[in-house]
């Protein structure tokens, strides 16, 4: 499936950190040429993945340990590595799961023009119902700016892809006469992505004080209105 969240359509690979032992990628169910898991093994895999997602969201990648994840799963560290081979591979699958949620929300064909901006407002509304995923994204994206973080390239490419996607939708809106033809689509795209991320941080800190959907809608409308007035 085409991943709309990266500019080149290719999901970036995570950079391995020196503390991880070199190992082949963990097999995943349903991938061509890779071993299928039994239902019991798949259930166990998914259980560990859910625990890892919660742990990374609460503690960040750097402070979360395989020992902690293994203990919560009732396994040894070797047991966790049997399924994921390394901590970096575990992070890869956590981010895969996060991406799958976004892709499912978007559907097979993304909305065009201003309809895509309305989709962003809907996304902000749905995000208020999935705190764990939003906390995970916020913690890991902030942590990724540190030296040698294995997800640094992932988030750099993801943000570039998001800016490209919003800029493309704004370009379509200009071509359709839905907004000003003089629109700085790159600048507007960066502003919209920044607003959505900033609102997520504020909402995580004080959910009752922030309506992410309403604030996203207000900012997008104000931005477009200022551009219509030229």
Give the Cα separation of 230 and 228 in Å (integer): 5
CA distances, 4 to each of 56, 86, 212 (Å): 24, 27, 22
How many angstroms separate the CA atoms of 116 and 173, rounded?
A: 9
15 has pLDDT over 90: no
Q: What mean pLDDT is reported for the chain?
A: 84
Q: Interior CA angle at 84 toward 81 and 87, to 5°? A: 75
Ordered alpha helix ranges (H), 107-144 = 114-127, 131-143
**Which backbone phi and psi does 6 adopt, to 5 degrees?**
-130, 135
Average pLDDT on 116-145 reads 94
CATH class of 39-93: mainly alpha
Distance CA 137, CA 127 (A): 11
**pLDDT at site 129:** 93
pTM of the entire predicted model: 0.76
Question: Do the Cβ atoms of 200 and 213 come closer than 8 Å?
Answer: no
Contact 124, 212 (CB under 8 A): yes
**Interatomic CA distance for residues 80 and 90, integer angstroms:** 9
The two domains 39-93 and 110-229 share their CATH topology (first three levels equal): no
| Packed helices 185-205 and 212-229: angle between N→C axes, nearest 10 degrees | 160
CATH number of this structure's domain 110-229, picked from the four choices 1.10.357.10, 3.20.20.300, 3.30.110.30, 1.10.3720.10? 1.10.357.10
- Given this model, what pLDDT does residue 100 score? 81
- What pLDDT does residue 225 have? 82
25 has a pLDDT exceeding 80: no
pLDDT, tens digit, 9 for 90 and up, residues 71-117: 999 999 999 999 999 999 999 999 988 888 777 776 677 899 999 99
Domain limits, the chain: 39-93, 110-229
């Amino acid at each position: 499936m085409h991943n709309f969240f990266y500019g080149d359509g290719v999901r970036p690979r995570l950079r391995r950190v020196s503390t991880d032992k070199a190992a082949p990628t963990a097999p995943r169910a349903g991938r061509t040429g890779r071993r299928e898991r039994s239902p019991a093994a798949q259930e166990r895999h998914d259980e560990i993945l859910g625990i890892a997602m919660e742990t990374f969201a609460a503690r960040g990648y750097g402070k979360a340990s395989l020992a902690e994840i293994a203990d919560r799963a009732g396994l040894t560290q070797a047991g966790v590595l049997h399924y994921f081979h390394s901590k970096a591979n575990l992070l890869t699958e956590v981010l895969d799961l996060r991406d799958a949620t976004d892709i499912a929300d978007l559907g097979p064909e993304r909305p065009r023009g201003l309809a895509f901006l309305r989709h962003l407002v809907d996304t902000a509304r749905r995000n208020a119902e999935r705190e764990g995923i939003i906390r995970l994204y916020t913690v890991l994206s902030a942590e990724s700016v540190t030296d040698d973080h294995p997800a640094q390239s992932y988030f750099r490419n993801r943000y570039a892809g998001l800016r490209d996607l919003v800029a493309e939708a704004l370009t379509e809106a200009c071509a359709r006469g839905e907004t000003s033809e003089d629109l700085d689509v790159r600048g507007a795209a960066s502003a919209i992505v920044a607003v959505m991320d900033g609102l997520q941080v504020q909402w995580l800190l004080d959910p009752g004080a922030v309506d992410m959907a309403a604030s996203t809608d207000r900012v997008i409308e104000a931005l477009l209105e200022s551009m219509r007035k030229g």
